[in-house]
Amino acid sequence: MTQRLDYTAIAPAGTKALGSVYGYILQSGLPRLLVNLVYLRVSQINGCAYCIDMHSRDLIKEGLAVEKLVLVQAWREAGSLFDTRERSALAWAETVTRVADTAVPDADFQAASAVFSEKELADLTIAIGLMNAFNRLAIGFRVPPKAALAEQQDQIVATNTASLDTRRSATLG
Protein backbone atom coordinates (compact mmCIF):
# COMPACT_ATOMS: atom_id res chain seq x y z
CA MET A 1 0.00 0.00 0.00
CA THR A 2 1.36 3.39 -0.97
CA GLN A 3 0.46 6.38 1.15
CA ARG A 4 -1.52 8.93 -0.87
CA LEU A 5 -0.40 11.98 1.10
CA ASP A 6 1.01 12.91 4.47
CA TYR A 7 -1.86 14.82 6.05
CA THR A 8 0.24 15.55 9.15
CA ALA A 9 2.69 17.57 7.04
CA ILE A 10 0.07 19.14 4.78
CA ALA A 11 -2.39 20.15 7.52
CA PRO A 12 -0.33 20.45 10.73
CA ALA A 13 -2.84 22.76 12.44
CA GLY A 14 -5.66 20.28 11.89
CA THR A 15 -3.51 17.42 13.08
CA LYS A 16 -2.55 19.45 16.15
CA ALA A 17 -6.23 20.15 16.88
CA LEU A 18 -6.99 16.42 16.77
CA GLY A 19 -3.98 15.86 19.01
CA SER A 20 -5.46 18.30 21.50
CA VAL A 21 -8.65 16.24 21.62
CA TYR A 22 -6.51 13.14 22.14
CA GLY A 23 -4.74 14.93 25.00
CA TYR A 24 -8.11 15.83 26.51
CA ILE A 25 -9.16 12.17 26.47
CA LEU A 26 -5.88 11.17 28.17
CA GLN A 27 -6.61 13.52 31.07
CA SER A 28 -10.38 12.88 31.16
CA GLY A 29 -10.18 10.26 33.88
CA LEU A 30 -11.27 7.40 31.64
CA PRO A 31 -8.94 4.43 32.13
CA ARG A 32 -6.31 4.34 29.39
CA LEU A 33 -6.82 0.62 28.81
CA LEU A 34 -10.56 1.13 28.35
CA VAL A 35 -10.01 3.97 25.89
CA ASN A 36 -7.52 1.92 23.89
CA LEU A 37 -9.95 -1.02 23.77
CA VAL A 38 -12.55 1.36 22.35
CA TYR A 39 -10.04 2.82 19.88
CA LEU A 40 -9.19 -0.70 18.73
CA ARG A 41 -12.84 -1.73 18.36
CA VAL A 42 -13.74 1.42 16.40
CA SER A 43 -10.73 0.82 14.14
CA GLN A 44 -11.76 -2.81 13.61
CA ILE A 45 -15.27 -1.74 12.58
CA ASN A 46 -13.84 0.81 10.15
CA GLY A 47 -11.16 -1.56 8.84
CA CYS A 48 -8.28 0.81 9.61
CA ALA A 49 -5.12 -1.30 9.45
CA TYR A 50 -2.90 1.53 10.67
CA CYS A 51 -4.97 2.13 13.81
CA ILE A 52 -5.62 -1.58 14.48
CA ASP A 53 -1.86 -2.14 14.42
CA MET A 54 -1.13 0.88 16.62
CA HIS A 55 -3.79 0.25 19.26
CA SER A 56 -3.06 -3.47 19.42
CA ARG A 57 0.58 -2.62 20.14
CA ASP A 58 -0.50 -0.02 22.74
CA LEU A 59 -2.72 -2.54 24.51
CA ILE A 60 0.06 -5.14 24.59
CA LYS A 61 2.42 -2.51 26.07
CA GLU A 62 -0.22 -1.76 28.71
CA GLY A 63 -0.21 -5.43 29.68
CA LEU A 64 -3.41 -6.63 28.03
CA ALA A 65 -3.25 -10.39 27.61
CA VAL A 66 -3.01 -11.55 24.00
CA GLU A 67 -5.94 -13.91 24.68
CA LYS A 68 -8.11 -10.88 25.42
CA LEU A 69 -6.68 -8.76 22.61
CA VAL A 70 -7.58 -11.28 19.93
CA LEU A 71 -11.16 -11.46 21.21
CA VAL A 72 -11.92 -7.73 21.12
CA GLN A 73 -13.72 -8.15 17.81
CA ALA A 74 -15.86 -10.94 19.31
CA TRP A 75 -16.19 -9.47 22.81
CA ARG A 76 -19.88 -10.43 23.07
CA GLU A 77 -18.94 -14.11 22.82
CA ALA A 78 -15.96 -13.84 25.18
CA GLY A 79 -17.95 -14.45 28.35
CA SER A 80 -16.60 -12.74 31.44
CA LEU A 81 -13.23 -11.99 29.84
CA PHE A 82 -14.44 -8.38 29.45
CA ASP A 83 -15.80 -6.68 32.54
CA THR A 84 -19.08 -4.73 32.70
CA ARG A 85 -17.52 -1.35 31.89
CA GLU A 86 -15.50 -2.79 29.00
CA ARG A 87 -18.57 -4.51 27.52
CA SER A 88 -20.63 -1.36 27.89
CA ALA A 89 -17.90 0.82 26.33
CA LEU A 90 -17.47 -1.59 23.42
CA ALA A 91 -21.24 -1.76 22.81
CA TRP A 92 -21.44 2.06 22.91
CA ALA A 93 -18.48 2.33 20.54
CA GLU A 94 -20.18 -0.01 18.08
CA THR A 95 -23.54 1.76 18.05
CA VAL A 96 -22.01 5.26 17.83
CA THR A 97 -19.53 4.24 15.11
CA ARG A 98 -22.35 2.67 13.09
CA VAL A 99 -24.62 5.68 13.65
CA ALA A 100 -25.86 5.67 10.03
CA ASP A 101 -27.22 2.15 10.56
CA THR A 102 -28.18 2.27 14.25
CA ALA A 103 -29.32 5.87 14.84
CA VAL A 104 -28.04 5.13 18.39
CA PRO A 105 -31.24 3.71 19.92
CA ASP A 106 -32.52 4.86 23.31
CA ALA A 107 -31.92 1.36 24.69
CA ASP A 108 -28.20 1.62 23.82
CA PHE A 109 -27.97 5.04 25.46
CA GLN A 110 -29.77 3.79 28.57
CA ALA A 111 -27.48 0.77 28.82
CA ALA A 112 -24.36 2.94 28.58
CA SER A 113 -25.81 5.50 30.99
CA ALA A 114 -26.37 2.78 33.55
CA VAL A 115 -22.62 2.08 33.63
CA PHE A 116 -20.99 5.46 32.95
CA SER A 117 -21.55 8.88 34.49
CA GLU A 118 -22.70 11.65 32.17
CA LYS A 119 -19.18 13.07 31.95
CA GLU A 120 -17.65 9.64 31.33
CA LEU A 121 -20.19 8.95 28.59
CA ALA A 122 -19.58 12.34 26.98
CA ASP A 123 -15.80 11.77 27.12
CA LEU A 124 -16.16 8.23 25.80
CA THR A 125 -18.24 9.53 22.89
CA ILE A 126 -15.65 12.20 22.16
CA ALA A 127 -13.00 9.45 22.08
CA ILE A 128 -15.15 7.39 19.70
CA GLY A 129 -15.65 10.40 17.42
CA LEU A 130 -11.93 11.17 17.50
CA MET A 131 -11.00 7.62 16.50
CA ASN A 132 -13.53 7.66 13.71
CA ALA A 133 -11.90 10.87 12.43
CA PHE A 134 -8.40 9.36 12.65
CA ASN A 135 -9.62 6.20 10.90
CA ARG A 136 -11.01 8.22 8.02
CA LEU A 137 -7.73 10.08 7.63
CA ALA A 138 -5.61 6.92 7.76
CA ILE A 139 -7.88 4.96 5.41
CA GLY A 140 -8.52 7.87 3.04
CA PHE A 141 -4.85 8.65 2.65
CA ARG A 142 -3.67 5.00 2.85
CA VAL A 143 -1.38 5.35 5.84
CA PRO A 144 0.45 2.01 6.08
CA PRO A 145 0.58 0.22 9.43
CA LYS A 146 3.94 -0.12 11.17
CA ALA A 147 3.83 -3.87 10.59
CA ALA A 148 3.65 -3.29 6.82
CA LEU A 149 6.44 -0.72 6.97
CA ALA A 150 8.61 -3.18 8.90
CA GLU A 151 7.90 -5.82 6.27
CA GLN A 152 8.81 -3.38 3.48
CA GLN A 153 12.05 -2.52 5.30
CA ASP A 154 12.86 -6.22 5.67
CA GLN A 155 12.27 -6.71 1.94
CA ILE A 156 14.49 -3.74 1.09
CA VAL A 157 17.26 -5.05 3.36
CA ALA A 158 16.94 -8.54 1.85
CA THR A 159 17.06 -7.13 -1.69
CA ASN A 160 20.06 -4.94 -0.90
CA THR A 161 21.85 -7.82 0.83
CA ALA A 162 21.24 -10.10 -2.15
CA SER A 163 22.45 -7.38 -4.50
CA LEU A 164 25.62 -6.89 -2.42
CA ASP A 165 26.22 -10.65 -2.31
CA THR A 166 25.83 -10.83 -6.11
CA ARG A 167 28.29 -7.96 -6.60
CA ARG A 168 30.77 -9.48 -4.18
CA SER A 169 30.56 -12.83 -5.95
CA ALA A 170 31.07 -11.16 -9.32
CA THR A 171 34.03 -9.15 -7.98
CA LEU A 172 35.65 -12.10 -6.25
CA GLY A 173 34.68 -14.68 -8.81
Per-residue pLDDT tens over the stretch 40-63: 999 999 999 999 999 999 999 999
How many angstroms separate the CA atoms of 87 and 74, rounded? 11
What's the pTM value of the predicted model, to 2 decimals?
0.85
Give the model confidence (pLDDT) of 18-39 as tens digits: 999 999 999 999 999 999 999 9
